[in-house]
Structure 1
């Protein structure tokens, strides 16, 4: 901003000089060089032709200078606006990252993306840019107004009053329509983004079911609904200039010509040419910054819905504790056990407990499993262990010491989670295994070892580009089992001490699954594994199996022990063996 204000002042002065030169130029052209009422009449004392050449040259030069200054001013405005957009979007992204996991259970990813990018971009266009235009436009208008006032006095005063009142009236008139169009546009843009995201995410189903027309029709209908609000939102702010500018020019010439129309002396028409030319050029110089000024005000008033949507993200308070590097250096994996003691949990939007008085003990270096019907509380318990969700009551104990909120980020750095539905980056094997690391931080030897441990050696060696092979968006070029193994390789690379496999081997054949579990068991580090599985062959060798039902622990024990004392678990075994 410290560069924009001086530049706006210099631009205003250059426009004033251009207006003054027009006056002098037309005095010379009509041969009225001694007219005392015209400013700058004694600027040159040379012959008329040389005067004319010099004036034209200076006029052209100052026009180039003024145009260059306006372009430079706009460049500084847009650079600052873009910088603010980047800063605001980074704040929005940081605020979202700093929310607890349950925030993402209620918010849609498409809407969050829209708020970060589209709405904040609109704020930069409808708030930041207008503010910058108002600031710079005010200085330019002030200088030109002073110049016109000094030259045309009363006529200039009435002209500016008319322009200000006209712009104000039209701005107040169109603002409600712009605001309505903006609100509707936000809703419909979100709908369009949702349709596009859903169709791309389910592209296989789209092709197999022939649903292209269905999504195209939805997109077309949403686009047609959005169309009037899109063009109105961009066109209505231009209305003041489109009406006031020609009307103002008409008024200028009417004021200038009226005294001479009543007097038929031809000499009078020659004398008013410099006056009319100067006022016309001054008004042309005045109109763009005045338009910027009032369009800025209109955009500010009409863009309130965009600001409201963006503030919902920009004003989010951090709810998640960030990693403490000092604590991380001395935070270690517990040596004996991880315990969930009398732990209960209910989601913020729920009246019922999803977990009720859970007691679980996980031996370090051991393998345990959670089994039960869908919705019985297995994954919610895993989220508690990972501290993605925090208990409503009860505690998580590491070696019988309570895990505090300050320790959560450092505890999470020791954990890895592999879900059934894997989300991968649109990159190569290296960037997906060494997740979240810059290229110079990546150990490719370790990436290769991790992929080999995840039973992907044959796949990588058969690819021409090896580790640098692009896997497509969300690993679309890979099978489900290969995607799952990349996620497991990621856990190997990150030296996870606790690994939760949530149906993470469901897409593997029995042989590959067995080899992978053996690889997990033979890791050099003491790895603690929690299986969440319906395929019971996965959990036969577990140290303890917890059976969940309606958010409670129904039974626990080793495989054969649980088979004897739990009828529902025995039934699960029969069903598993049958299929």
Structure 2
């Protein structure tokens, strides 16, 4: 699932951890000859060490053995810190890389994916899920291997030194560990998924609360959102309590087992060995125990942590595999696809992936370049969906959309390079007015002459003059310092700044006063002949001068023609005109 660099670095971290464990085991083993020397209990191991060192005096040998033990443990600590620092750095960098890769994957994914998934879910995946995969799965996995090697090495050493007592200890600790894992495994997994679901709910409440703050305050329904948020956080906290308890429980259980084990081994040793040899082995068990017991506790706790991170891994695993299989290519700037003759829709049908019925059926339109097309019809007629298809945000289930005979789906990047859209709800960056017109979150330089032209065309000149810092004035998150009409005018200026060959206005003047709407309409009509216009409107007065009007009904193009032609020949359109004059 992970790339080669992550796998290679992870393998290096494991190798380094194994080396640390072996150093620790060797340092611990040196305690046996040291204690045998202190208790004057001779053994083959101590004799061999004497021979290798040239048969030194006992005092000198004791210093050498003690130094070996000390150097071993100090070296182990230094190596552990070095590898820990390197591992944290590697994990942090890869965590950032994976978050950025997923962010790129989601932003390059089809628009339909964003329609199906909520923003809270995607936000959870690029932030919490990635952090948990590295912090709760990969890093603890390294720790499990390190501690497992240490525990195994210590166990082998103890088996050599005292087989029967070690077998007794292994039986006690092994059975205890197995029972702990059996008890906690399913509970930790259940609690982890519950936390994942609860965190998604709390994030949704937070995003909805801050996004809809105006209506929430007007309706005095703050407590509904606070209660929903708090309930989700409480559910997460209670499940977290279970996981924390199950992770801490092994520590106290192991301490109890350790005391029982030491008592059992003491009885066995003194029954079978001389007091000197028994004391030497007990010293080894004591030193090893202080290394094995924390290691065993960490293994159990790390396994629970890995299980806690399992849901995060499950959430993004499929996305990561899909991303690795077909990595999103960086969008290379292309010249706009030419639109000099006509935009043609031929028998276009569309349905959503999770639906069995068509939203649009056999829609055909012909829009000459430089002309204006209005899409009208009741709510749910399919106007917005048809606009999404024209913009290349959705892909037709059947039929084709072409510009001068070239398929806009096959050449999507070039096609979209020449488009601009002004939606009814204009999205504004948390930046300056200039940044919002250029749509540059990083504050890129703008063309001052073009900026002046689009500000005037969008009827923003008076607003810019009134603002304390002009175009550099911060407009607030989502443009909270601007009125609805001002936000729409910023959207119009942004679209005009792009100098598009096809401009889509989706209810783009619905929040404007009549005088401003009239001036904006004059500006739009001034684009006639140079820019192809597609206008979605409920107020039919705004599309009276369009070259062509398409009436949509139940996902089909019911009729096309000029305003006067449709009013004279189509009863539904005539009724819409009549209602619009009331």
Shorter-chain TM-score: which interval? 0.7 to 0.9
Report the counterpart of residue 239 of structure 2 in structure 1. Answer: 229
Q: Per-residue CA shift, 1:185-244, capped at 9, x if unaligned? A: 222222222222211211112211111222222223223333321221233234334312
CA shift for structure 1 position 411: 0.8
Q: Is residue 321–residue 408 contact of structure 1 (8 Å, CA) maintained in 2?
A: no
Change in Cα spacing, 1:319 to 1:425, as seen in structure 2 (3 Å) is: farther
Report the counterpart of residue 435 of structure 2 in structure 1. Answer: 431
CA shift for structure 1 position 517: 3.3
Of stretches 379-388 and 524-533 in structure 1, the one that deviates more from structure 2 is 524-533
CA shift for structure 1 position 479: 1.1
Change in Cα spacing, 1:443 to 1:151, as seen in structure 2 (3 Å) is: farther
CA shift for structure 1 position 425: 2.2
Equivalent of residue 573 in structure 1, options 571, 574, 577: 577
CA shift for structure 1 position 325: 4.0
- Match runs of 1:187-202 below 5 Å: 187-202=197-212
Equivalent of residue 288 in structure 2, options 282, 298, 303: 282
Distance 1:509 1:220 in 2: 41
Change in Cα spacing, 1:352 to 1:5, as seen in structure 2 (3 Å) is: closer
Q: Is residue 93–residue 116 contact of structure 1 (8 Å, CA) maintained in 2?
A: yes
Structure 2: any 5+ residue segments left out of the alignment?
A: 1-9
The alignment status of 1:564 with 2:571, answered yes or no, reads: no
Distance 2:443 2:86 in 1: 34
Change in Cα spacing, 1:473 to 1:39, as seen in structure 2 (3 Å) is: farther
In the superposition, the TM-score normalised over structure 2's length comes to: 0.85
The alignment status of 1:379 with 2:356, answered yes or no, reads: no
Q: Per-residue CA shift, 1:141-193, capped at 9, x if unaligned? A: 34434444454444345434543443233213311111111222222222222
CA shift for structure 1 position 298: 4.3
Change in Cα spacing, 1:75 to 1:162, as seen in structure 2 (3 Å) is: farther
Q: Per-residue CA shift, 1:230-268, capped at 9, x if unaligned? A: 2212332343343124312431343135544899xxxx7
Distance 2:532 2:57 in 1: 97
Report the counterpart of residue 458 of structure 2 in structure 1. Answer: 454
Q: Is residue 373–residue 549 contact of structure 2 (8 Å, CA) maintained in 1?
A: yes
Q: Is residue 556–residue 562 contact of structure 1 (8 Å, CA) maintained in 2?
A: yes
Q: Per-residue CA shift, 1:484-509, capped at 9, x if unaligned? A: 22222222233322111111111112
Structure 1: any 5+ residue segments left out of the alignment?
A: none
Of stretches 196-205 and 123-132 in structure 1, the one that deviates more from structure 2 is 123-132
Change in Cα spacing, 1:340 to 1:320, as seen in structure 2 (3 Å) is: farther
Distance 1:257 1:221 in 2: 54
Report the counterpart of residue 3 of structure 1 in structure 2. Answer: 12
Q: Secondary structure at the match of 1:406?
A: coil
CA shift for structure 1 position 335: 0.5
CA shift for structure 1 position 338: 0.4
Report the counterpart of residue 219 of structure 2 in structure 1. Answer: 209
Distance 1:138 1:436 in 2: 52
The alignment status of 1:85 with 2:88, answered yes or no, reads: no
Report the counterpart of residue 538 of structure 1 in structure 2. Answer: 542
CA shift for structure 1 position 307: 3.1
Of stretches 364-373 and 561-570 in structure 1, the one that deviates more from structure 2 is 561-570
Change in Cα spacing, 1:76 to 1:235, as seen in structure 2 (3 Å) is: farther
Q: Per-residue CA shift, 1:524-547, capped at 9, x if unaligned? A: 993222111122332232222222
Distance 1:469 1:143 in 2: 66
Distance 1:504 1:9 in 2: 64
Report the counterpart of residue 106 of structure 2 in structure 1. Answer: 96
The alignment status of 1:408 with 2:412, answered yes or no, reads: yes
- Match runs of 1:48-447 below 5 Å: 48=59, 62-160=72-170, 162-260=172-270, 272-300=278-306, 303-316=309-322, 325=332, 328-329=334-335, 332-399=337-404, 401-403=405-407, 405-435=409-439, 438-439=442-443, 443=447, 446-447=450-451
Distance 1:454 1:286 in 2: 73
Distance 1:118 1:324 in 2: 27
Equivalent of residue 519 in structure 1, options 499, 523, 528: 523
RMSD: 3.5
In the superposition, the TM-score normalised over structure 1's length comes to: 0.86
Of stretches 197-206 and 60-69 in structure 1, the one that deviates more from structure 2 is 60-69
Report the counterpart of residue 505 of structure 1 in structure 2. Answer: 509
Equivalent of residue 495 in structure 2, options 455, 480, 491: 491
CA shift for structure 1 position 407: 0.7
Distance 1:47 1:409 in 2: 82
Q: Per-residue CA shift, 1:325-353, capped at 9, x if unaligned? A: 49x34x53221110112222233333433
The alignment status of 1:19 with 2:28, answered yes or no, reads: yes
Q: Secondary structure at the match of 1:420?
A: coil
Distance 1:447 1:234 in 2: 57
Distance 1:212 1:14 in 2: 59
